[in-house]
Amino acid sequence: MLSLSMGPRAQAAKNAIRSARAGGSQKARVHIFIAVPNALTFFLGQQASVLGRVRLYKFDFEVSRDRTYRPSLTLPVVTS
């Protein structure tokens, strides 16, 4: 559950993505490099139908590679 202070920020994030999508192709993929509390990422996941095609990236905090962002998940998941 989002905290009261998180609610307006979460809504603003969703609205910003929706606005960006409205100005371009609905088939375009949104790339999200995110460093926010897990509650916000959970909320954005619940709004997946609004987000459209999304690719999430994860930062290599563990220094297992080169401390850069790597693709971690692409939505919607396509199964063959």
Report whether 53 contacts 27 (CB < 8 A). Answer: yes
| Model pTM above 0.95 | no
pLDDT score recorded for residue 24: 67
pLDDT tens, residue order, the chain (80 aa) = 334 455 777 778 777 777 777 776 667 787 878 777 788 778 777 877 777 788 888 888 777 777 788 888 888 777 76
DSSP-derived letter for residue 68 is S
What are the residue ranges spanned by the domains of the chain?
A: 6-75
Report whether 75 contacts 53 (CB < 8 A). Answer: yes
pLDDT score recorded for residue 6: 56
Q: 57: which 2 tokens?
A: 């990236």
